[in-house]
């Protein structure tokens, strides 16, 4: 069993309205999962956003918390709704309305990892699935909601940055000015965050030399849909970083680009964490 659902890294002094979260970087693989899986310890990590929590771990230095999953995505996918249950995997679950994520094996309890490789040779008990949701999914989202509520209460606005990494092949065909996108920002085509907020986030990446795309091929999933309410001053933006920039995808190990990327992201994180802090109210005429 995972020892914890998440790790919360808090700043010494909370000054930012921004909350950073990394739902797919967890790597505390339960022995029961490894025992029951048909995949080895390496293959089961293929859908993990490895090391993303380390890439963003300076956020508390700039007054913003970082919530990082402990349990791995292959165990519970924290970027899915709790009711995205897969009847092809979980015993006793009835087939509901068509859900393309569930149909492809990527429900809240995943049936497959990257490239559609099956995790199990059969089904798992419904009680096991419910236990995972209770011990991992529910505590993570309860804490995330509390962090966003705290930011909103303190500043009148909350901004969630949902941090992910993407396979290089996902952006290999995307090019801007002859260069492939290195970062994809997802705001569900404007539905999960205000345009001004997203423009500032994009500008922060561009200022550090990144090639940025929006909403293609990733516009945001459950987290941005659930927590993004720009009309209520609650914004949620998904950030995807090309894994090839910092790791060898075959070995799942950081390469020589890791520290330079981390240094560049430090500038991005500092700028994002300061959103709203330098805006002065207009004087009354």
Quick check: 282 pLDDT over 60? no
Average pLDDT of span 76-99:
93
pLDDT digits (tens, 9 = 90+) for 14-57: 999 999 999 999 999 999 999 999 999 999 999 999 999 999 99
Q: pLDDT by residue (tens digit) across 127-146? A: 999 999 999 999 999 999 99
When pLDDT is cut at 50, 70 and 90, the band that residue 283 belongs to is: very low
pLDDT at residue 10 tops 90: yes
Residue 4 pLDDT more than 50? yes
Rounded distance between C-alpha atoms, residue 242 and residue 28, angstroms = 23
Of 228, 190, 224, 187, the residue nearest 80 (C-alpha): 224
User: Which pLDDT score, from 0 to 100, does residue 281 have?
Assistant: 42
Please name the residue that has the structure tokens 């899915």.
80
Residue with the larger pLDDT of the pair 36 and 96: 36
How confident is the model at residue 280, as a pLDDT? 39
Q: Compute CA 164 distance to the chain's CA centroid, rounded to the nearest angstrom.
A: 4
According to DSSP, the β-strands at 212-214 and 6-9 are unpaired
pLDDT of residue 177: 61
Q: Where are the alpha helices (DSSP H) in 75-159?
A: 100-103, 126-132, 138-155
CA dihedral 223, 245, 250, 58 (to 10 degrees): -60
Q: Is the pLDDT of residue 96 over 90?
A: no
Average pLDDT of span 255-268: 98
Question: In angstroms, how far is CA 257 from the centroid of its own chain?
Answer: 21
pLDDT digits (tens, 9 = 90+) for 54-84: 999 999 999 999 999 999 999 999 999 999 9
Q: What is the pLDDT of residues 196-222, one digit of tens each?
A: 999 999 999 999 999 999 998 999 999
* Angle between helical axes of 195-207 and 258-273 (0-180°, round to 10): 140
Reference 254, options 2, 54, 35, 10; nearest CA is 54
177: left (phi over 0), alpha (psi -120 to 50) or beta: left
Which pLDDT score, from 0 to 100, does residue 277 have? 81
Task: Give the pLDDT band (50/70/90) at residue 174.
Answer: low
Task: Assign 278 a pLDDT band (cuts: 50, 70, 90).
Answer: low
- If one compares 178 and 185, the residue with the highest pLDDT of the two is 185
């Amino acid at each position: 069993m995972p020892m914890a659902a998440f790790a919360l890294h808090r700043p010494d002094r909370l000054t930012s309205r921004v909350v950073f979260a990394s739902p797919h970087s967890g790597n505390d693989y339960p022995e029961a999962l490894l025992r029951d899986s048909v995949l080895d310890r390496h293959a089961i990590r293929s859908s993990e956003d490895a090391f993303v929590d380390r890439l963003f771990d300076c956020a508390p230095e700039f007054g913003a918390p970082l919530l990082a999953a402990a349990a791995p995505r292959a165990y519970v996918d924290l970027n899915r709704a709790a009711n995205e249950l897969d009847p092809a995997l979980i015993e006793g679950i009835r087939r509901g309305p068509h859900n393309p994520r569930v149909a492809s094996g990527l429900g809240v309890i995943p049936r497959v990892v990257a490239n559609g490789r099956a995790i199990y040779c059969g089904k798992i008990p419904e009680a096991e699935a419910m236990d995972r949701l209770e011990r991992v999914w529910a505590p993570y989202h309860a804490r995330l909601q509390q962090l966003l509520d705290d930011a909103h209460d303190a500043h009148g606005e909350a901004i969630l940055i949902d941090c992910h990494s993407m396979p290089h092949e996902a952006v290999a065909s995307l090019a801007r000015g002859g260069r492939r996108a290195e970062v994809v920002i997802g705001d569900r085509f404007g539905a999960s965050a205000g345009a001004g907020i997203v423009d500032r986030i994009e500008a922060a990446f561009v200022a550090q030399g990144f090639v940025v795309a929006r909403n293609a091929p990733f516009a945001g999933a459950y987290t941005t849909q659930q927590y993004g309410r720009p009309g209520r001053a609650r914004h949620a933006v998904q950030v995807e970083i090309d894994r090839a920039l910092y790791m060898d995808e075959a070995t799942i190990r950081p390469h020589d680009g890791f520290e330079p990327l981390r240094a560049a992201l430090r500038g991005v994180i500092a700028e994002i964490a300061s959103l709203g802090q330098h805006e002065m109210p207009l004087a009354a005429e």
